[in-house]
Amino acid sequence: MTTPFALLLALSASLVSIVIGYYFRHLVALSQKGSIELEVKDVLLRAKEEAAAIKEKAQRELTQSEEKSERILAEAKEEQKRLQDTLLRDQDRFIKKEELLDTRQKDIDNEVSLLKERAEEIKQIKEKVIKERDLVTREVERLAGFNREEARALLLSQVEKQCEEDLYSRALKLEREGQAKLENRAKEILVASIHRLGNATVSDTMVTSVAIPSEDIKGKIIGKEGRNIKVFERAAGVELVIDDTPGIITISCFDPTRRQIARVALENLIADGRIQPVKIEEAITKATNEINQILRKKGEEAVYECGLLNIDERLIPIIGRLHFRTSYGQNVLQHSIEMAHISGVLAYELGADVNVAKAGALLHDIGKAVTHEVQGTHVEIGRRILQKFGVDERIIQAMQAHHEEYPYETVESIIVQVADAISGGRPGARRDTVENYLTRLADLESIAASFAGTDRVYAIQAGRELRVFVSPEIVSDMEAHNMARAIALRIEHELRYPGEIKVNIIRETRAITFAR
């Protein structure tokens, strides 16, 4: 009984617990339902308030937009009205201008018509005048017995004879005044250039002989059966002249550079005392290197002294080779440096390009460094060398005209030619042979004597002045002046000479009679 009762009691207790749990759960559900409904009502209330606020704001913004659109529309209407008024005013103004242009065009057309009528009248009058003038001219020619050309020639001839003296004196006066001013200015520039340079002008000759301490050295140089001298001449490219002249061995070669290499090598061999084929070849190789260094050093010194630091490096040894070349006894490199300084001064005084003038002067004789190695004149060879190394065309134009083989294309080319004449034409700068001197004098006299009316010709002042005596019966004063110019032009074109030559035409009229 006890166990079933316990089970029944437990079951009853479980049912009571379930009923009580369900009831409490129902109470909780009802409480939660009431709180949710309150929250929903609160949310709906807030939503209505926000909707009312948004509606009020939208209504306010709509009102503002309408006011703004009305204001913009009013402004647009005012602007449209203003533009219409402006357009109307411009249209009225254009109409008035068009009417004015039409009026002016009518006036111009009327004036053109009037001018055409007057031009036609003038043309008719001109034709009539020409016909009448031709009639009068033919009548005058018939009465005078001369035609127009004959009368004109006769009149000019008479006027020329009557006024020849006046014209000649006037021409001489103008020429003297202008020539005097030009000569004074030219002298000032040239004197300033020469004074600022101030280099020595003594003649320079290169040594081609070697002194020996004793005559025994000659035998060593010749060697057994001439072996040493043959090796030396073959290796150096020169000829040794060993004669009876005491204490001297002469080196003969047309190339001054090879001549200098041979001189240095021979001096070293003599100082060493051991003269044999192997030593000879070593000495010549060593001397070649020394001379090449000297050439480059001389080229660098020349470029630096002239202030031309943009010269191509490959040209510097070629410039240095001019140190061993002479022209009429004048060292070519020193002559080129001297010309560069003179050209720089002249270019500065004349407003030309100083660097171009100095470079053209320094490089003007660069063709002489390889004249015997390449066919052509030294000017043409120099042009090819400078073009090969990309030298500025203005510098080539400046150097190529110094012997007038090419025309003067720039002011700098004339400056280089003048500097060449100054440097080479000064007393003592160069020496000339007697044969060349006499030949130049004979050529000067023969050129002057070839002109008609020449009586006597004398070349004086070492060929720098030419005096020409003419016959007064054949050559007039005016013709003498023209004759002087013609002789000077022929001398410039046909002869080569340093400096300048003065041409004097002397015309004398002598009246001789005898009192008996």
Domain shared by 412 and 360, yes or no: yes
The residues facing 248 across adjacent strands are: 211
Q: Are residues 244 and 312 in the same domain?
A: yes
Q: For residue 202, is pLDDT > 50?
A: no
Name the E strands within 53-131: none
> Which alpha helices (DSSP H) does 145-255 contain, by range?
148-197, 216-222, 227-236
pLDDT per residue over 72-130, tens digit each?
Answer: 988 888 888 888 888 888 888 888 888 888 888 888 988 888 888 888 889 889 888 88
Domain finish residue from 407, 425, 443: 425
CATH number of the domain residue 351 falls in: 1.10.3210
pLDDT of residue 31: 65
Q: Which pairing describes strands 209-211 and 248-252: parallel, antiparallel, or unpaired? A: antiparallel
Percentage of the chain exceeding pLDDT 90: 0
For residues 358 and 244, membership in a common domain is answered with yes
Report, as an integer, the average pLDDT of 177-181: 65
Q: Is residue 15 part of a domain?
A: no
Q: What is the pLDDT of residue 186?
A: 64
Query: Does residue 453 fall inside a structural domain?
Result: yes
Q: Could you tell me if residue 133 is inside a domain? A: no
Mean residue pLDDT across the chain: 79
Do residues 290 and 308 share a domain?
yes
Q: Phi and psi (nearest 5°) for 203? A: -70, 145
Lowest mean pLDDT among 72-86, 267-281, 428-442: 428-442
Per-residue pLDDT reduced to its tens digit, 226-241? 888 888 888 888 888 8
* Co-location of 220 and 254 in the same domain: yes
Q: Give yes or no: residues 239 and 327 share one domain.
A: yes
Residue 327 lies in a domain: yes
Domain check: are 242 and 352 in the same one? Answer: yes
* Beta-strand runs (E) in 326-391: 326-327, 330-331
Residues 279 and 418 in one domain: yes
Angstrom distance (rounded) from CA 397 to CA 406: 8
Asked if 463 and 500 touch (Cβ cutoff 8 Å), the reply is no
285 and 419 in one domain? yes
Model confidence at 204: pLDDT above 80? no
Say if 183 falls within a structural domain: yes
| Three-point CA angle 252, 255, 261, nearest 5° | 80
**Is the model's pLDDT at 501 over the cut of 80?**
yes
Pairing outcome for strands 502-507 and 465-470? parallel
When pLDDT is cut at 50, 70 and 90, the band that residue 279 belongs to is: confident
Q: Are residues 497 and 353 in the same domain?
A: no
> What pLDDT sits at residue 395?
87
**Is 284 in the same domain as 414?**
yes
Residue 463 belongs to a domain: yes
Question: Which of 156, 190, 224 finishes a domain?
Answer: 190
* Model pLDDT, residue 200: 46
Q: How many domains does the chain have?
A: 3
Residue 218 lies in a domain: yes
Boundary-marking domain end, from 398, 425, 452: 425
CATH number, position 441: 3.30.300.20
Confidence of residue 201 (pLDDT cuts 50, 70, 90): very low
Q: Do 247 and 384 lie in a common domain?
A: yes
Residue-level length of the chain: 516
Side chain identity at 516, as an amino acid letter? R
What pLDDT shows up at residue 402? 76
Q: Is residue 227 part of a domain?
A: yes
Show the domain range for 173.
166-190
Query: The whole model's pTM is what?
Result: 0.47
